[in-house]
Structure 1
């Protein structure tokens, strides 16, 4: 049986980081509209999604007696709030490009409102813990190999690097709330990862294609882009496919997020930010330290 705790990184709240997003081109992923809009669609969900995570954890905050978990929850909330602010700036860029960002967000908020009002607190904390499992894998998924984000603009690459670092730092917070005070049945815990994954993947692809339509691409062009682009994520050697083992660990009865190691170059990001105060330089050093 795996040890319950193997690897830990404490949440650190970092404010006022400037990623100079106003300087990035429209198709910032190597001029590829499909990959750009897939990442844009993912980024678009973060501000309101993370506000939902905060609300889900707050449902149990008064029941938490462990001082260490209380502090980690407070830092989790502060980190998620900062993520929302940064990705709101990304959303504003998409608005300026003519994307239907507000329409997407209105639908998102209706869905989150329904979940919080109609579903049990146990369901919501399990959904949050499952989503945090997925986002915590972002660092390994996108930054283990240099080639994965080689064509991405350095400023956006730095934004996602910072987000991934902090997701790893608080990856076990919602999970520990779920375990210690959530009283979540094992079947519900397992179900929520499958359901969260289906929602996240489905909505990301849908929103990306809506944005491509607003970019002026025809249905035939969008179909061709999907055929060419989706294997980058989901193909036999796709970026997300490579992480399938760590993803599936969630379904083991004795799983805990801290059983997964922190990405090898984590300390490089921390050290570079401390030395320079510049998240773009930290993101670049983090990416450069990945395997070739």
Structure 2
């Protein structure tokens, strides 16, 4: 019996797509809104180093997996995350070209990632599972609520759709490795609390750094609009909160949120020629 919980009809395989977003990132690409643009850019700034750490954590246990299906999905997971890291490096370089202080932001986050990389392997993998849960829930929200990206440039919509699709496809891979090789429910939950703190901490700090460069850090209107976007209406984070907290249930498994229908719909749109790369 396979230890992989990835359901039938879901393939974990990288798509070699390149997005040239340099022109889009010269402006407030998300509906000319400073906060929404900064929030998504702040997420992007964490991806290259964060996703490399995910790869490293899974590799520490790869040789202990015998199940052919999960072994194949680990290869797909590593390929997908490597391409995400590559595309978001280009994305972040375009932010640097616009004048953002990317070096200072990177130093702050890399110091944290270096600390994570010195943790015991079981904690690194538990942290990867927790962080993958956040990306999977946010990915589901982006796919299920395309109106949340309304006003964003077509190229940026396609980039975030591509990333969300692949995060959904591989959302249980690290979790299955953890369940097979570590299986400590208490550790999984405790580490998730630390991941939660750091995810929101660095997203907030990065957003502030970007808004400072934009001259919007002390703009009450900008923050009120941002708080409404995240916690009011549409309330991106508010509406994701129950799914975030589901991770703390004993016996939780990522595909308990079965969103294969969204994958099929969004894959068709990803392949639509009207959305440029």
Whether 1:32 aligns to 2:33 is yes
Distance 1:279 1:140, change over 3 A: farther
- Residue of structure 2 in register with 1:287 after alignment: none
Q: Is the 8 A contact 1:273 1:279 kept in 2?
A: no
TM-score (norm 1): 0.86
Corresponding residue for residue 238 of structure 1: 235
Query: Helix, strand or coil: the match of 1:200?
Result: helix
Give 3-state SS (helix, strand or coil) of 2:92's partner.
Answer: helix
Correspondence 1:10 to 2:11 = yes
| Paired positions, count | 272
- The two structures, once aligned, show a CA RMSD in angstroms of 2.2
Q: Which residue number in structure 2 is paired with residue 162 of structure 1? A: 162
Aligned twin of 2:173:
173
* Unpaired runs of at least 5, structure 2: none
Q: Deviations over 1:196-239 (max 9, x none)?
A: 1221112111111111111233x532x54223312311237511
Which stretch shows the higher mean deviation, 197-206 or 127-136?
197-206
CA distance in 2, matches of 1:150, 1:7: 30
Aligned counterparts of 1:232 and 1:216: Cα–Cα separation in 2: 20
**Alpha-carbon displacement from aligned partner over 1:225-274 (angstroms, at most 9, x marks no partner):** 22331231123751121122222221111111111112533213334555
Assess if the C-alpha contact under 8 Å between 2:51 and 2:81 holds in 1.
yes
- Alignment map for 1:1-292 (pairs within 5 Å): 5=5, 7-8=7-8, 9-15=10-16, 17-24=17-24, 25-117=26-118, 119-181=119-181, 183-217=182-216, 219-221=217-219, 223-235=220-232, 238-262=235-259, 264-273=261-270, 278=273, 280=275
Offset from partner CA, 1:108-132 (integer Å, 9 cap, x none): 2221121111x11111101101111
Length-normalised TM-score, structure 2:
0.90
Give the gaps of 5 or more residues in structure 1. 284-292
